[in-house]
Structure 1
Amino acid sequence: MRRYRGMSPTTTAAVALIDRLRVPVEDMSEQQRHEARATTYPTRKPFSALLGRVDPAVGITFGTAPARDGYEIPLRIYRPRAIRDVQTDVPVIVYFHGGGWVLGNVVNYDPLCTHLAAEVGAVVVSVDYRLAPEHPSPTAVHDAVDATTWLAAQSDVLRADAHRLAVCGDSAGANLAAVVAQVVRDGGSGWIRHQALLYPATDLTMASPSIEEHAHAPILTRTSILAFREHYAPKRDYENPLMSPLFGTLEGLPPALVQTADLDPIRDDGTRYAAALRSAGVETRLTNYLRVPHGFASFPGVSAAGAQHRWELVSELRRHLGLALA
């Protein structure tokens, strides 16, 4: 039985509806997984009031990046229309969507990615990495690293300053963003200026106390976490830093923003990672948003935290990418 205590009435009603409409990952058949991945949410009213609007001031195009095994990784590219084609000094944000490495698609992140492009004043590239269980770990990590390193060399193609780059993601996507930051650092490159991690999964050993505290939370339960992990990491090498960035070497990483949800079973994955980053000398800002569940960034219209989290996210990205605060 899911627990909805602690949230505002509006948030409770919205997430209860979301839970009723979704099949939990642990109960999904293969066909249902594919159908869920292909499902796109309406962007018209009243849905946009819940999920956020797609900013019409941002153009959306498409591309691909080469993976190490010859696969072409699809990219969804967002560029503010106000940024002229001749203006090439704008930064780049590489985004990785959530979904437990099993679900999710780039289209449903149009509201957030267009918001980031418009408000930060950046080219945003959302990476459509391959999903488990068809492509278990480390395929998603390899796609994320390969896409990011390829993009860093594509300033001319992007008409942007790709060496002034941030990585960003939510949940499983934040896990990938954190891993990419570590891998790029290990390669001796310093072009990632910031990592913005929204309720990140950082420890696949499930040692965070909040997993038991919020085992029956809305949106994400302990049972679902176990199912996602089994799909993604069947070899059970949970302490490998490519899967659990908390176990990686953290010194020398770019500054980080970590946003957590107080009613989230993986809340402590974020707080523990932020503490570890600070202990390693990494400039880190941690904000725990009260009275919201996991995934709150995907439905910003149902709580005050939605607007606050977006303001903080945009402000931190602008600051670390060398842009004046709006």
Structure 2
Amino acid sequence: MAAPLPLRTKLFALMEGLTGASIADEPPEAVPARRARRTKLLSSPVGRWVAGRPHRAAHIVDRTVELQPVEITGLESATVPVTLRLRIYRPSGSAPGPLPVVVLFHGGGWVLGEPEQDEWWASHMAAESPCVVVSVDYRLAPENPYPAAVFDCWSSLLWVVERAAELGVDATRVVVAGDSAGGNLAAVVADLAAQSGLSALVGQVLVYPGTEMEDVFPSEREHAEAPVLTSRGMRAFVRLYLDGADPYAPTAAPLRGSLAGAAIPALIQVAGHDPLRDNGVFYADALREKGGDVTLTEYENAVHGYLSLPGVSPPARRALAETIEFVRRVTNPEISGEPGSQARSDA
């Protein structure tokens, strides 16, 4: 049973529940306006307090890049380049040699979100690991449904690896990371990398990831009306993203795939008060069955989205520290430590 929520999280949940309609109650054409309101709120003083401020020792720049079409088995390939924004975080000052790189995919149900919502997480990871973080502003549904985001995230990873020298990063020390929908995309990309023989990846960080599109797991029934994300909201995001596509396709639901990504060490974090909790738990179990090095941590007194809500979710700081520790471990072989393959609880 999940631990009680901290008071500030309860107050935030109450306010959040009183503002705006559920994504499940809005027509697809209202999504762009919802995004605009979300961006405005994020840039407000209240939004910056809730989402946390960037690390002072992180240097942040935006870069617009043109990504060439790539092929993914089972998906119809794009025929024209795609132009995307990458938000790049690096530690200020000089650092010895090429740095490890984390390619980060934000959450938002494949429908909402932008790299700025992960500013606190990304900038602290860059400054404290240290590493370079490349956060991908991938295309969103319903304007660009599945598999657009899959192509964008896979192409972005390949772009980073190919331009490692230009970016000042080590192409042999790459981690993919993401939260919620971004965790789904990170898991898919890790699987694609393993299947293609790309040796660049050394780890994956999946924070309350969505790994299944169709089945209803126990945590969804238990926390159907949870703060931040409800069962109805989950299902609405899936409908908008898939737009009628196969919910069992491994590039949509990584739990249904070959789990080739088990070859890459994984840190999986889940929240106790989250309908998506079992998506992460079952994915960790599946990777372990394939022999994967997996660390699973449940933050029992947290809600979905906690890593983007440090102002109202006290567990966020412990979760951040855990992600930084994991990135250091998998990108620095000289750091000793036992493999994960364990379940941890952090209330």
TM bin (shorter chain): over 0.9
Query: Which of 292, 309, 319 is the equivalent residue of 2:302?
Result: 292
Give the AA of the match of 2:198: S
Residues 10, 302 of structure 1: 8 Å contact kept: yes
Q: The residue matched to 1:163 in structure 2 has which SS?
A: strand
Give the AA of the match of 2:228: I
Shift of 1:67: 4.1
2:90 maps to what in 1?
Answer: 79
Residues 51, 117 of structure 2: 8 Å contact kept: no
Residues 40, 107 of structure 1: 8 Å contact kept: no
Q: The residue matched to 1:102 in structure 2 has which SS?
A: coil
- Once the two structures are overlaid, the 10-residue window that deviates more, 282-291 or 60-69, is 60-69
Q: The residue matched to 1:127 in structure 2 has which SS?
A: strand
Q: The residue matched to 2:11 in structure 1 has which SS?
A: helix
Q: Give the TM-score, by structure 1 length.
A: 0.92
1:246 maps to what in 2?
Answer: 255
CA distance in 1 between partners of 2:164 and 2:268 (Å): 28
CA distance in 2 between partners of 1:25 and 1:44 (Å): 22
Give the AA of the match of 1:228: F
- Runs of at least 4 residues of structure 1 off by over 2 A? 18-23, 27-32, 35-38, 40-50, 301-304
Structure 1: gaps of 5 or more residues: none
2:59 maps to what in 1?
Answer: 59
2:120 maps to what in 1?
Answer: 111
Residues 65, 151 of structure 1: 8 Å contact kept: no
Give the AA of the match of 1:289: Y
Give the AA of the match of 2:258: T
Residues 65, 146 of structure 1: 8 Å contact kept: no
Q: The residue matched to 1:118 in structure 2 has which SS?
A: helix
Shift of 1:270: 0.3
Query: Is 1:24 aligned to residue 25 of structure 2?
Result: no
Structure 2 counterparts to residues 184-263 of structure 1, below 5 A:
184-251=193-260, 252-263=262-273
Q: The residue matched to 1:302 in structure 2 has which SS?
A: coil
Structure 1 residues 320 and 71: CA distance shift in structure 2, 3 A: same
Identical counterparts, % of pairs: 37
The size of the alignment, in residue pairs, is 320
Structure 1 or 2: larger strand share? Answer: 2
Shift of 1:41: 4.2
Query: Is 1:147 aligned to residue 156 of structure 2?
Result: yes
Shift of 1:183: 0.5
1:303 maps to what in 2?
Answer: 313
Residues 67, 142 of structure 1: 8 Å contact kept: no
Residues 204, 265 of structure 2: 8 Å contact kept: yes
Give the AA of the match of 2:86: L
Structure 2 counterparts to residues 270-285 of structure 1, below 5 A:
270-285=280-295
Structure 2: gaps of 5 or more residues: 70-79, 337-347
Residues 146, 245 of structure 2: 8 Å contact kept: no
CA distance in 2 between partners of 1:49 and 1:103 (Å): 20
1:12 maps to what in 2?
Answer: 10
2:75 maps to what in 1?
Answer: none
Please, what is the CA RMSD of the aligned residues? Answer: 2.1
Shift of 1:242: 0.2
- Once the two structures are overlaid, the 10-residue window that deviates more, 57-66 or 306-315, is 57-66
Residues 28, 142 of structure 2: 8 Å contact kept: no
CA distance in 2 between partners of 1:260 and 1:290 (Å): 8
Structure 1 residues 46 and 34: CA distance shift in structure 2, 3 A: closer
Query: Is 1:176 aligned to residue 176 of structure 2?
Result: no
Residues 65, 150 of structure 1: 8 Å contact kept: no
Query: Which of 154, 158, 170 is the equivalent residue of 1:161?
Result: 170
CA distance in 2 between partners of 1:158 and 1:124 (Å): 11
Query: Is 1:125 aligned to residue 134 of structure 2?
Result: yes
